[in-house]
Structure 1
C-alpha cells in the first residue's frame, strides 16, 4: 500500500505544482509539493513515511546545479570578496545571538535552548548539541530551526522578488544543458559523488548529499574547463522531491506546537529575516552587489532552500552558495565550539 500512497502523493504534487506554475507563482514546484504533502497528510490521514532517499535525490540535483556554477573566474571573484563574506557571516551570527535573549523572554525557555534554537544555517549541528545539552529543550530547538526553514522558503522569495531580476551573466546563462553535452568522461563525476557524500557524512558535515556533488562538479570544472548546466526539468524535479520532504515534516510537527510556541517562533524568525535585510541594505551602500544576490547570500536559512530560490530568481548562484558554505564552516568550526564552551561555563557558574 505504501507504493500506492507514494504514487498518490506524487500525482497530487504534480497537479498542484502545475496549477501554481501556470498561474505564475514563485517556486511553483517547491510550494506545490509542500501544499500537496500537507493536503495528503490532512485528508488521506494514514501512517506514511516519505522515503528519505527521494528528498536526498532532490538535494543531489541541487548540489550539481551549485557545482556547475563554480568556475575559475567565479572563484577569483569570491576571493576578491572575502572581507564581505567574513563580515556578513559574523554579523548574521551576532544578530542571531542578540535575538536569542528576546526569544528566551518570549518562550520562557532556558538560555541554552534559546541559543541553540536561533543560530541559523547548521540545523543538524544545533540539534546534536541540543541532544547533548541537558538544559536544552530538544523539541523547541528542532521546531524553531525547522520553522525557520519554512519561513525562509515562504518569505525570502517574495522579498527577493521585489528587486529587479537578472543582470547577472552567470555560467548557467551560457553553458549547455547536461543532457546535450554529456560525455563518457563525466562518469568520473558519478563515481566520485557517492564517495564524497560518504566522507562528508562521516565528518558530520551538514547536507553532505548536496555538498558532495557540488565539490565533484567544481573539481571537474576546474580540471577540465568543460562546463555545463543542469537541465531545467531536473531542477523542477528537485524542487518537487525536496518540497514533499519539507511538507511532510511540517505536517508531522504541527501537532506538537502550542499557540505560544508558534507565535514565539514566527516572531523570532521573522525578526531575524528582516534584521538580515537591514544588514544587507547597509552592505549595499559599500559594495557593488545587487540586492537579490546579497540578500540571498545572507538569508538565515538552509543552503538547499536558498539555492532553489536563487535558481528561480536568476541570481548569482556561485556567490550565494559561497557565502552560505563559508557560514556553515564558520558555524561548525568556530561558533559551535564557542557556544559549547559558553554553555559549559554557564552551567559551571550556575552550579557554583
Structure 2
C-alpha cells in the first residue's frame, strides 16, 4: 500500500513538472511546446536536480495509440487517390531525402564517433515522436543521441522554414491539382471515436504480440486507415486531446534520456545543426527544381511538402502563408508511410550488420 501511495505522489509530481515545462515553452513561444516542454522539464528535474520521477507505462502507451489514430484519420479516399497518382514522384523525392540522410549518417558515424545504426536513426527525416518510439524498440540504438538530434532538428526546422517561406520572391499563388481536396473530419462523432479507441487498443495489443515495430502507434495507424477508407468513417479528434497525448509521450521520453552518456556534445551539436541545414536546403532545392515544374505547385507549397518538420507544423505554416494544404498533407503523410514501412526493416538489417 505504501508503494502505491508513493507512486501516486511521484506521478503527480512528475505531471506537475511536465505542466511547468509546457507553460514555459508556451510563454517563450517555443516550438512543439506540448512535447518538448515536458520532455526537457522532466529531463532537468530527473538528471540535474535528481528528483525521483514516475510515469506509468500504460499512460504512455495510451498516448501513442491516440497519436496513431490522429495520423490514421488524415487519410481519406480523396487523399489516398491523389497520393496514388503522385506515388512515383513522392517516392523519388522522399528517397532522395533519405539518401542525403544516409550519406550524412556515414559522416556522423565516422567523425562524430557514434555507431552507424544510431547515426542513421538520428538522420532519418521523420517526426520526433515517431522516430524516438522506433528507436526505443530497436536494440543497440543510443536513444539519448537520437532524441538530441531530432529535437535540434525540430527547433531548427520550425525556426528556418517560416523565414524561408516569407521571402518576397516566393509569394506566388500557384496551386496543384490536389488543392480542392477537403478534409471530411471536421465533425466530432463521439460514438465513432470511442469505437475506434477500443479497436485501436486491440490492434495495438495484437501488434505488440506479433512484434510489430512501434506497435502502439503503427497498429492504430494501419487499422484506422483501412476502416476509414472502407466501411467505417473516423471521427475528428476531441479538442486538446492530441496536445495531452504529446504531453504524456514527452514526459516518457524525458525519463528515458541519459544526457550524461553523450560524448563529444559540442561535436554532436554541430552535426545536428549541419544535418538540419542540409535537409532543409535539399528540400528547398527540390521544390525549386522539381516540384514547381513536375507537380505544378508553388515553391512554398513544394518546400513545405518536403521539409522535414512534421505534418502538423508544416500544415500550420502552410495555413499562414496560404499554401496548398492538401498537397502538403499528401507529401508529409506519404513520408510517414515511407518511414514506417521501409525504415524499421532497414534499421534491423543495419543493426545485424553493425
Is the shorter-chain TM-score for this pair beyond 0.5, marking a shared fold?
A: yes
Q: Does the aligned pair in 2 maintain the 1:34–1:246 contact within 8 Å? A: yes
Task: Name stretches of at least 5 consecutive residues in structure 1 with no aligned partner.
Answer: 132-137, 345-352
The answer on 1:6 being equivalent to 2:3 is no
Matched residue, 2:313: 309
> In angstroms, what is the RMSD of aligned CA positions?
3.7
TM-score (norm 2): 0.74
Q: Distance in 2 between matches of 1:8 and 1:337?
A: 37
Matched residue, 2:157: 156
The answer on 1:242 being equivalent to 2:243 is no
Q: Displacement of 1:170 after TM fit?
A: 6.8
The answer on 1:193 being equivalent to 2:200 is yes
Q: Does the aligned pair in 1 maintain the 2:13–2:53 contact within 8 Å? A: no
Q: Does the aligned pair in 2 maintain the 1:78–1:322 contact within 8 Å? A: yes
Q: Does the aligned pair in 1 maintain the 2:196–2:224 contact within 8 Å? A: yes
Matched residue, 2:3: none
5 Å matches for 1:165-244?
171=182, 175-178=185-188, 181-183=189-191, 188-224=195-231, 226-244=233-251
Task: Provide the secondary structure at the position in 1 that maps to 2:258.
Answer: helix
Q: Does the aligned pair in 2 maintain the 1:272–1:300 contact within 8 Å? A: no
Q: Does the aligned pair in 1 maintain the 2:306–2:331 contact within 8 Å? A: no
Residue 307 and residue 62 in structure 1: after superposition, are their counterparts in 2 closer, same or farther (change >3 A)? farther
Matched residue, 1:255: 260
Q: Displacement of 1:109 after TM fit?
A: 5.3
Matched residue, 2:170: none
The one of the two structures with greater contact order (alpha-carbon pairs below 8 A, sep at least 6) is 1
Q: Distance in 2 between matches of 1:169 and 1:23?
A: 36
Aligned residues: 322
Residue 148 and residue 112 in structure 1: after superposition, are their counterparts in 2 closer, same or farther (change >3 A)? closer
Task: Provide the secondary structure at the position in 1 that maps to 2:229.
Answer: helix
The answer on 1:320 being equivalent to 2:325 is no
Q: Displacement of 1:88 after TM fit?
A: 2.4
Q: Displacement of 1:282 after TM fit?
A: 2.2
Q: Displacement of 1:45 after TM fit?
A: 1.9
Q: Displacement of 1:203 after TM fit?
A: 4.8
Residue 327 and residue 113 in structure 1: after superposition, are their counterparts in 2 closer, same or farther (change >3 A)? closer
Residue 271 and residue 83 in structure 1: after superposition, are their counterparts in 2 closer, same or farther (change >3 A)? farther
Q: Distance in 2 between matches of 1:72 and 1:119?
A: 28
Q: Does the aligned pair in 2 maintain the 1:63–1:210 contact within 8 Å? A: yes
TM-score (norm 1): 0.74
Q: Distance in 2 between matches of 1:127 and 1:42?
A: 19
Matched residue, 1:279: 282
Q: Displacement of 1:10 after TM fit?
A: 1.6
What are the superposed Cα offsets for residues 273-300 of structure 1, whole Å, 9 maximum, x if unpaired? 2221122112212224567776666566
Matched residue, 1:348: none
Task: Name stretches of at least 5 consecutive residues in structure 2 with no aligned partner.
Answer: 1-5, 167-174, 320-324
Q: Distance in 2 between matches of 1:227 and 1:293?
A: 27
What are the superposed Cα offsets for residues 64-91 of structure 1, whole Å, 9 maximum, x if unpaired? 2112221100001111221232212322
Q: Displacement of 1:160 after TM fit?
A: 3.4
What are the superposed Cα offsets for residues 280-335 of structure 1, whole Å, 9 maximum, x if unpaired? 1122122245677766665668xxxx3553565566445412212213322334x4
Q: Distance in 2 between matches of 1:186 and 1:128?
A: 28
